[in-house]
């Protein structure tokens, strides 16, 4: 699993323990994400979300 790390300045603000737990949670979620998209699949922000038609 690729580890996702909390940025240093936030780790300093919230403490090592919280940052470590957040890192674990984020890493697990990122690992679990379904990335089985065709290579040309556009991201959602390219669409008008209300109709899922492409922005003109």
Partner 1 sequence: MNELHWLEAHEAAELIASKKLSPVELTQSLLNRIEKYDPGLNAFLTMRPEASLAAAKEAEDIVMRDDTSLGPLHGVPFALKDIIDVSSWPTTAHSKILADNIAEKDAEVTARLKAAGAILLGKLSTHEFALGGPSFDLPWPPARNPWGREYYPGGSSSGSGAAVAAGFVPIALGSDTGGSVRGPASMNGLLGMKPTYGRVSRNGVVPLSFSLDNVGPLTRTVRDNALALSIISGFDTKDPASAELGVPNFSKDLDIGVKDLRIGVIRHFYQKDMIAGDDVIAAMEEALTVLSDSGAQIQEINTHPLIDYATCNRIILLSEACAIHQEWLTTRANDYAESTLSRLLPGTAFSAVDYVQALRTRARYAAEFNTFFNNFDAVITVNNMEAAFPIEDSAAREKYYPRQARAPFNVTGNPALAVPIGFSHEGLPISMQIITNQFDEAMAYRVAATYDKVTQWTAKHPDLDKTATLPAE
Query: Can you give the three-state secondary structure of the chain, one letter per residue?
Result: CCCCCCCHHHHHHHCHHHHHHHHHHHHHHHHHCCCCCCCCCCCHHHEECCCCEECC
Residues in 1-56 at the binding interface with partner 1, rule: CB under 8 A: 4-7, 9-10, 12-14, 18-19, 21-23, 25-27, 29-30, 32-35, 37, 41-52
CB of 4 to partner 1, least distance (A): 4
* Contacts with partner 1, residue ranges (CB under 8 A): 4-7, 9-10, 12-14, 18-19, 21-23, 25-27, 29-30, 32-35, 37, 41-52
């Amino acid at each position: 699993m690729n580890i996702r790390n909390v940025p240093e300045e936030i780790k300093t603000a919230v403490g090592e323990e919280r940052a470590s737990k957040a890192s674990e949670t984020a890493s697990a979620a990122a690992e679990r994400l379904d990335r089985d998209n065709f290579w040309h699949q556009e991201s959602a922000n390219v669409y008008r979300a209300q109709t899922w038609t492409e922005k003109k």
